[in-house]
Amino acid sequence: MKILVTGAAGFIGFHTTSRLAISEHEITALDNINSYYDTSLKFDRLSLLGLPKDAIRPATPLTSDRYPNLRFIQLGLEDKKGLLDLFQTSSFDIVINLAAQAGVRYSLQDPDAYIASNISGFFNILEACRAFPVTRLIYASSSSVYGLNEKIPFSPEDKTDRPISLYAATKKSNELMAHTYRHLFNIPVSGLRFFTVYGPWGRPDMAYYSFTKNILAGKEIQVYNHGDQMRDFTFIDDIVEGILRLMDNAINHPGRLQHPVYNLGNNQPVKLIEFIEILESLLHKQAVKKFVPGQPGDVTVTYADISASQNDFDYQPSTGIKDGLARFTEWFLSYYKD
């Protein structure tokens, strides 16, 4: 199979590409390497894939010196011509679209970035899959689409018409756009709503990452909603396993995929204050906490109903929060050893 992974220098994209790189598939990895957060982390991820920073050039394919079946192209989804040219010459079977402008709070500061990447960029992906048909398009949505939904756990069948951040609105827009292209042009497409993904090589803008950094530095951490928020924290390996299981079924058993969108979560929400206490015990250091109200765009609870994912492609998360955080902090202390 010829597989395209977008957002390959990002957190989930890097881990997904790492798993696929050891397969027999022919992998094309794509990323624009933007500066939303420290690009050195992105380049370090790519370096582990055998793609050294000094060799990367915009719009120029680079073959990995570690995985001969992997090539990388620095290209943004906003470049429609570049994307269509790539699809025309590559004949992809599977497209895994993980590229997006992430972050709920940042969408209040720079909304233009979300429209460009998450709306226009996703439209270009759909148009490319329309012009050059694929076996399956798999794309990342988000648990944030559930917005003010009061029913828990969150089910893919629930209404998702009350997003409370622009980021969430763009992800819901992706789901509507995908539905339209499936209906009009028969594009086989599946969406995945990710629930608070964490783990090694994670995103520095995520709370668990900044908490760890500040606890170690003896700096204050802001505990939103006075620690009463609950999140369905999901370890990165379980997310990647879900993506690949859906992909395998799309290739071998497409009739099993009965839903247009699925939840990938841990199905075990944890209170934010309990999450911090686990971090404190792993780091052997007390956090300096400042309890503050909830922030605009934040929801109180996320909780994934994963029954559809279990039934349709045997998704089963296996990493508990203590084990997952232990693996994250071990990586963090190693990566930032200086």
**How much is the average pLDDT of 41-66?**
97
Find out whether 154 and 299 touch, Cβ atoms under 8 Å.
no
Backbone angles phi, psi at 241, to 5 degrees: -60, -40
> How far is the C-alpha of 88 from the C-alpha of 162, rounded, in Å?
38
Q: What was the pLDDT predicted at 338?
A: 72
Domain segments of the chain: what residues? 2-194+236-265+304-317
Q: Render pLDDT for 195-235 as a digit per residue (tens, 0 to 9).
A: 999 999 999 999 999 999 999 999 999 898 877 789 999 99
Backbone angles phi, psi at 111, to 5 degrees: -60, -30
Of 167, 181, 198, 303, the active-site residue reads 167
- Please name the residue ranges forming H helices in the chain: 11-21, 39-48, 80-90, 106-109, 111-114, 121-131, 166-185, 207-217, 236-252, 272-283, 307-313, 321-335
- Find out whether the peptide bond into 153 is cis, omega within 30 degrees of 0: yes
Question: Residue 320 is encoded by which pair of tokens?
Answer: 């508990």
Backbone angles phi, psi at 337, to 5 degrees: -60, -20
Question: Residue 227 is encoded by which pair of tokens?
Answer: 């620690």
Contacts of 303 (CB under 8 A, 6+ apart): 152, 153, 154, 230, 232, 265, 267, 269
Question: Residue 299 is encoded by which pair of tokens?
Answer: 């929801």
Residue 31 falls in which region: left (phi positive, over 0), alpha (psi -120 to 50) or beta: beta
Find out whether 274 and 230 touch, Cβ atoms under 8 Å.
no
Question: Residue 44 is encoded by which pair of tokens?
Answer: 């370090």
> How far is the C-alpha of 137 from the C-alpha of 181, rounded, in Å?
11
Q: What was the pLDDT predicted at 246?
A: 98
> How far is the C-alpha of 187 from the C-alpha of 254, rounded, in Å?
13
**How much is the average pLDDT of 91-109?**
93
Find out whether 225 and 272 touch, Cβ atoms under 8 Å.
yes
Domain 2-194+236-265+304-317 classification at class level:
alpha beta
Q: What was the pLDDT predicted at 297?
A: 62
Residue 108 pLDDT > 90, yes or no?
no
- pTM, 2 dp: 0.96
Strands 288-292 and 70-74 turn out to be unpaired
Find out whether 127 and 234 touch, Cβ atoms under 8 Å.
no
Q: What was the pLDDT predicted at 296?
A: 72
Q: What was the pLDDT predicted at 63?
A: 98
- Please state which of the ranges 53-67, 241-255, 286-300, 304-318 shows the lowest mean pLDDT: 286-300
Find out whether 298 and 222 touch, Cβ atoms under 8 Å.
no
Instruction: Give the mean pLDDT of the chain.
Output: 95
> How far is the C-alpha of 193 from the C-alpha of 87, rounded, in Å?
25
> How far is the C-alpha of 289 from the C-alpha of 276, rounded, in Å?
10
In the block, residue with structure tokens 């930032």: 336
Among candidates 205, 197, 151, which has minimal Cα distance to 328?
197
Find out whether 190 and 138 touch, Cβ atoms under 8 Å.
yes
Percent of the chain having pLDDT more than 70?
100
Q: Render pLDDT for 293-323 as a digit per residue (tens, 0 to 9).
A: 877 767 788 999 999 999 999 999 999 999 9
Q: What was the pLDDT predicted at 54?
A: 96
Q: Render pLDDT for 120-178 as a digit per residue (tens, 0 to 9).
A: 999 999 999 999 999 999 999 999 999 988 899 999 999 999 999 999 999 999 999 99
**How much is the average pLDDT of 74-90?**
97
Among candidates 260, 109, 258, which has minimal Cα distance to 179?
260
Q: Render pLDDT for 145-159 as a digit per residue (tens, 0 to 9).
A: 999 888 999 999 999
Active site residue 208: no
Residue 274 pLDDT > 80, yes or no?
yes
Cα dist. 116→14, 157, 164 in Å? 22, 28, 19
**How much is the average pLDDT of 41-51?**
98
Work out the burial of residue 235: count CB atoms within 10 Å of its CB; fewer than 13 is exposed, 13-18 middle, 19 or more buried. Answer: buried
Question: Residue 149 is encoded by which pair of tokens?
Answer: 């939904």
Find out whether 203 and 328 touch, Cβ atoms under 8 Å.
no
